[in-house]
Amino acid sequence: MKTLNAATDEMLVDMYIKGNDSAFDVLMKRYESKVYSYIYYSVKNQELAEDLFQDVFTKIIIRLRSGKYKETGKFYAWVMRVAHNLIIDTYRKDIDDKIISNDETEQDLFNDPSLAVNENREQEMIKEQMISDIQELIARLPESQRQVLLMRYYEDMSFKEIAQLTNCSINTALGRMRYALINLKKMSKDIA
């Protein structure tokens, strides 16, 4: 197993295609947390993120076994592209189900004694509201800007990796990040 851990992604892919299932286990362990985090921060739903995560690695196994993987770049970038495409497909399928209403709850936040037990509940509610507001602002960004922002801040990806994954130049990825930050700043001022 130590030799597998030291192997490059391309070597592991080659070993897996030739029948070494342990090689795929090493590949999956290398990238599972990054792939899951990217999916989760994109869909903001744990159950859906888990389903998509399974779909990503199922699709990767199928493509590797069928010989559809072409070594044109980094394996990691290809895995993230597969994840990204599945997320996009999910959004396309569920576009009509995106209406959210807060009126569906009967809970009275101001008169519920269980919420008053914690002295710091007010700070928790403020923090939750801030996170919700930021997520809402990010969701309002154009797709290309939101994608770069999520990859950079939530996935801690370099701009070179982002450029490879999104099939654009590094300067384009940098520009998208710049405009995402400008737009977030402008939208936050409009709210305040």
Q: What is residue 100's predicted lDDT score, i.e. its pLDDT?
A: 45
Tell which residue, 56, 75, 55, 72, has the closest CA to residue 13.
75
Class of 122-192 per CATH?
mainly alpha
Is the whole model's pTM more than 0.85, yes or no? no
Element (H, E) at 120: none
Per-residue model confidence as pLDDT tens digits over 84-138: 888 888 877 765 454 444 455 555 555 555 555 555 666 676 777 777 777 788 8
68, two tokens: 């559809």
What stretches in the chain show pLDDT beneath 50? 96, 98-102
> Cβ neighbours of residue 50 under 8 Å, at least 6 residues apart?
36
56, two tokens: 């990503």
Q: What is residue 98's predicted lDDT score, i.e. its pLDDT?
A: 47
Dihedral, 136, 139, 142, 143 alpha carbons, nearest 10: 170
Dist CA 131 CA 135 (whole Å): 6
61, two tokens: 């196994």
Q: What is residue 67's predicted lDDT score, i.e. its pLDDT?
A: 79
Dist CA 23 CA 4 (whole Å): 6
Instruction: Locate the domains of the chain by residue range.
Output: 1-95, 122-192
79, two tokens: 């895995």
Q: What are phi and psi for residue 8, nearest 5 degrees?
A: -75, 165
Dist CA 171 CA 163 (whole Å): 8
Q: What is residue 99's predicted lDDT score, i.e. its pLDDT?
A: 43
Instruction: Give rounded-to-5 percent helix, strand, coil for the chain.
Output: 75, 0, 25
Q: Determine the topology of domain 1-95 in CATH.
A: Rna Polymerase Sigma Factor; Chain: A (1.10.1740)
Dist CA 141 CA 139 (whole Å): 6
- Please enumerate, as own/partner, the contacts of 131-137 that have beta carbons within 8 Å and a separation of 24 or more: 133/188, 133/191, 135/44, 137/184, 137/187, 137/188, 137/191
Average pLDDT for the chain: 79
